[in-house]
A and B are shown apart, each in its own frame.
Chain A
Amino acid sequence: MDELMDFDEVLASFDPTLGLEVHVELNTATKMFCACDNTPGGEPNTKTCPVCLGLPGSLPVVNGQAVESAIRIGLALGCSIAPWSRFARKNYFYPDMTKDFQTSQYDEPICFDGHVDLEVDGRTYGIEIERVHMEEDAGKLTHVGASGRIQDAEASLVDFNRAGTPLMEIVTRPIGGLGAKTPEVGRAYLAHLRELMVALGVSDARMEAGNLRCDVNISLAPKGATELGKRTETKNVNSLRSVEDALRYEMRRQGALLAAGGTVTQETRHWHEEGWTSPGRSKEQAEDYRYFPEPDLVPVAPSAAWVEELRATLPEPPARRRARLQDAWGFTDLEMRDVVGNAGSLDLIDATVTAGASPATARKWWLGELARRANEAGVELAGLAITPAQVARVQALVEAGTLTDKLARDAFDGVLAGEGDPDAVVAARGLAVVSDDGALGAAVDAAIAAMPDVADKIRAGKVQAAGALIGAVMKQMRGQADAARVRELVLERLG
């Protein structure tokens, strides 16, 4: 186990410099260089063709949709868009890479020189984006053996379904001056990217599914030094929490090393979920990728007019939108945190409010009743078979007195079961509240006849006993009686 220095001591002696490389898998319909289905999963090697299998003779063709997504990402990160950029070949062997080179952008990326402002604990931190470039993902290896790790595998299975998935790499410039906030800013940056990708609709941005993968670079320099220290690159950190933890760990590990008079080896490191890093490939055997312009592809040259068209499609920046909605809805910070913390609920509540519901009721249904059902069904909130407009309609029926909260839940059942719109469900299931005196009166009379002793008590002035009769009527009417009117009728008859 590595020696670790106390975090505060690290900061007392060293200035950390942070750098983040984030890979985002795009959710385009087809792959980066061929027409294969780009949706995740499926039986291994079923979503492949000669191009993504790299068969002799096959050639790539750039996916226009991916270029569009790359430009929108760049614009949302405040980048300039290159009027002319090229793909390059990055030559190296890896068993899941079909051509033994990766088609990627090297010295001519499509987006460059961006800027992102992050707010952490009330302070704003500026992050400079060096570049956003396009490349393709590799296939997936499964190591078959006792431990599932490559070291003692009996065999490795290759699934090329993922090979050729469009991948955007977003690279920051070195970020210094963050001090003790370094790990939190790293985390906030990744959270920001995740949110942005979802808002842009370009990626599912699910870290656990590998849609968003982060390589975390950190170096320490003695306080006041002008040169940066040797950095390590912790690969594929795949949760927000892990980004923060990996940074904290590496700072403490490097601090202990340097304080003891040692040096940091420039290397890649692996992140272990238990909260530590271990050395990976050492940069001593630095690979020479022998980059050169990809001769099978023509340059990417988006017109200025198209770029401006795409700029017009950018969504409101997520942080600004959150602040605007919280203000408009009058939610407390705590309430807003719940809304933001529940994947997709902000959009759903926003749409429900737009469809006419009050923010409070929209929030109540989505984070209460519907969140519970999504949870039971094991799906995302947005995956439920109900639209914001339908939720707003149910709420409107409640406010009109047609449904009680309990009946509203029955109405949701019907909509989720695919029985149609709320009105159709209410009609088909006969859910509407009954306030017609004829039907209610008959039920009240029947209840009085069935419970003479209760009736006597009420006649004797014990008005609070009416509850039992109201309950009996409600039961008889399967919950659809207008409780207030039933009470009036009971008291009319026995008063």
Chain B
Amino acid sequence: MSHAILTATAADLGARIAARELTSVEVTRAFLGQIERHDGRVHAFLHVDAEGALAQAAAVDARLDAGEVLGPLAGVPLAMKDLFTQEGVPTTAGSRILEGWRPPYSATVTRRLLDAGIVILGKTNMDEFAMGSSTENSAYGPTHNPWDLERIPGGSGGGSSASLAAFEAPLAIGTDTGGSIRQPASVTGTVGVKPTYGGTSRYGVIAMASSLDQPGPCARTVLDAALLHEAMAGYDPMDSTSIDAPVPPVVEAARSGDVSGLRIGVVKELGGEGYAPGVEQRFTEALDLLRDAGAEIVEVSCPHFDYALGAYYLIMPSEVSSNLARYDGMRYGLRVGDDGSRSTEEVMALTRDAGFGEEVKRRVIIGTYALSSGYYDAYYGSAQKVRRLITDDFDAAFAQVDVLVSPSTPTTAFKLGERMDDPLAMYKSDLCTIPSNMAGNAAGSFPVGLAPEDGLPVGLQVMAPPLADDRVYRVGAALERALARRDGGVLTDQIADRWVGEAGQEA
């Protein structure tokens, strides 16, 4: 029974809970048990809220028993990136500086999920303040990739994606500033979508870089991601950058998967040198599958994408340096050295030294420098101009094609520790995903198979114009169907036995 629950899709679990074939408590217990059995090795979670989750599940069961009609995911458990405030539940953003902090309020996304009857299992591991591409920058130790425990699960939302691949949760939430949903999805063989900027609320999401951050859904199937997208998205008056427009018809698109006549542009600049052969191979095969499904494939050039990484690494740290200023040890979280013998500035310095990791300090310093009065124009100012050019590239491309595609990441999951001492190599993990954050459009990563050379998942990225999130799902669903016909299921099915089967139960 437990096996069937753990490997089921969220859509299926939701339907069976609604039909009262399963109770939410039963389903929640199954996933809590899986976490208990396996998370010691995966380390997807920073905090498991078993008591809270079971209480939520019981409440949903009571509502359903009373005949209430809830959303399609009511009663289904979910793993939440440790960046979303949830009243009374520890939230640390993967940082020592917020260790033990229990927010007095909940993020809009948190509230919407709870209102939809979704059960929050706990908080997932992440790179500190979402800074990193491997989840190795978490102050609480790295997460391991369920495909190969020696490897990184991607970042910064490695915990969320790994929880899906290890069948510890059927749904997860991430945030994507430069690829933190899509890149982990790609290397764990799962689905991850970064909605249009402003399509999901940032209220209550601990900020890394405000103009780039966007919460989004993570799942094992395209439909599950779309259902979650619909449950979390929509206008929020508490976030002034939130878009006051209807949520794009993502669920309909995921159910349809019809790409006949769709014009798909392959971005010339996102491929070639530096891309692993297995990544390129699976990407090319996926294009063939889409062509077979009726799509038209053309090559498109976005010349300014070559500068996206550089511009991103000026804008993002600039906003980081300002957003993280509030962690000064004065009002909440960690405080070090406050024994009465030191000045405010000394206490702040000691607190930040102890509370922030290397990567956070690196970015704060870069950002502070880039915003300094003498350097503003040369760095931040120029980066904003590049950002504009990237948006123009997208506009020009979307005048010719409906969506753009590229590999989601240049390589498959690398080994833990491999790039820790080489920040630039680490930053390149997000080469393909960053342009969409810069332009604020919608993008998603979908599994397209395993790289022949290392047997690790490869993802394909789909990018669509702002508020055309449904096109991302349409292409994702078409791919998922074609691959299922070829391979007999979704990619994570290939490791289900390892985590859920008899071997998994014993491990």
| Interface residues in chain A, defined as those with a beta carbon under 8 Å from any beta carbon in chain B | 49-50, 53-62, 89, 91, 93, 95, 98-101, 288, 290-292, 295-298
Contact = CB atoms under 8 A, between A and B. Distances in A.
Nearest to B98: A56
B202 interface: yes
A57 B207 contact: yes
Given A57-B203, A295-B210, A290 B371 contact: yes
B204 A58 contact: yes
Given A290-B371, A292-B371, A55 B238 contact: no
Contact of B373 (A53, A89, A288, A295): A288
B318 interface: yes
B318 A55 contact: no
Contact of B104 (A50, A89, A95): A50
Contacts of B204: 50, 57-58
A56 B240 contact: no
A98 B328 CA distance: 10
Contacts of B202: 59, 296
A296 B201 CA distance: 11
Interface in B327-341: 327-328, 330-332
A57 B106 CA distance: 9
A298 B318 CA distance: 18
Contacts of A50: 103-105, 204
A59 B380 contact: no
A227 B371 CA distance: 31
B206 to A, nearest CB: 4
B242 to A, nearest CB: 9
Given A56-B206, A58-B203, A290-B373, 6 more contacts: A50-B105, A50-B204, A56-B103, A91-B322, A95-B344, A290-B321
Contacts of B373: 288, 290
17 contacts: A49-B105, A50-B104, A55-B103, A56-B101, A93-B348, A95-B330, A101-B322, A290-B321, A290-B368, A290-B371, A290-B372, A290-B373, A290-B376, A296-B240, A297-B240, A297-B241, A298-B240
A55 B240 contact: no
B371 A55 contact: no
Interface in B192-217: 202-207, 209-211
B326 interface: yes
Contacts of B205: 57
A333 B325 CA distance: 56
Contacts of B441: none
B441 to A, nearest CB: 17
Contacts of B105: 49-50, 55, 58
Given A50-B105, A57-B107, A91-B322, A100 B241 contact: no
B85 A56 contact: yes
Nearest to A154: B340
A287 to B, nearest CB: 10
Interface string B367-395: 01001110010001000000000000000
A284 B237 CA distance: 43
Given A50-B104, A295-B210, A56 B326 contact: yes
B497 interface: no
Contacts of B321: 91, 290
Contacts of B176: none
B241 A298 contact: yes
Given A57-B204, A91-B325, A62 B240 contact: yes
A290 B324 CA distance: 14
Nearest to A54: B326
A295 B214 CA distance: 13
A55 B104 CA distance: 9
The residue in B83, B207, B322 that gathers the most chain A C-beta atoms within 10 A of its C-beta is: B322
Contacts of A89: 322
Nearest to A91: B322
B346 interface: no
Given A55-B103, A288-B373, A292-B371, A61 B326 contact: no
Given A55-B103, A56-B85, A99-B326, A296 B210 contact: yes
Nearest to A156: B344
B241 to A, nearest CB: 6
Contacts of A62: 240
Contacts of B209: 295
Contacts of B332: 55
A98 B207 contact: no
Given A56-B98, A57-B205, A297-B240, A292 B326 contact: no
B241 A296 contact: yes
A56 to B, nearest CB: 4
A61 B103 contact: no
A290 to B, nearest CB: 4
B73 interface: no
B44 interface: no
A99 B326 CA distance: 5
Nearest to B107: A57
Interface string B9-45: 0000000000000000000000000000000000000
B325 A99 contact: yes
B93 interface: yes
A53 B104 CA distance: 11
Given A59-B202, A61-B238, A100 B319 contact: no
A100 B332 CA distance: 13
Contacts of A59: 202-203, 238-240
Given A56-B93, A56-B206, A288-B372, A98 B326 contact: yes
Nearest to A287: B373
A93 B346 CA distance: 13
A280 to B, nearest CB: 18
B325 A93 contact: yes
A75 to B, nearest CB: 25
A138 to B, nearest CB: 13
B237 A61 contact: yes
A101 B322 CA distance: 7
Interface in B138-163: none
Contact of A57 (B85, B322, B330): B85
Contacts of A291: 371
Nearest to A96: B330
B240 A101 contact: no
Which residue among B240, B327, B348 has the maximum number of chain A CB atoms within 10 Å of its CB? Answer: B240
A151 to B, nearest CB: 13
A153 B373 CA distance: 35
A99 B104 CA distance: 17
Contacts of B101: 56
Interface in B302-353: 318-319, 321-322, 325-328, 330-332, 344, 348
Nearest to B95: A56
A357 to B, nearest CB: 48
A292 B211 CA distance: 12
Given A57-B107, A297-B240, A290 B322 contact: yes
A50 B202 CA distance: 14
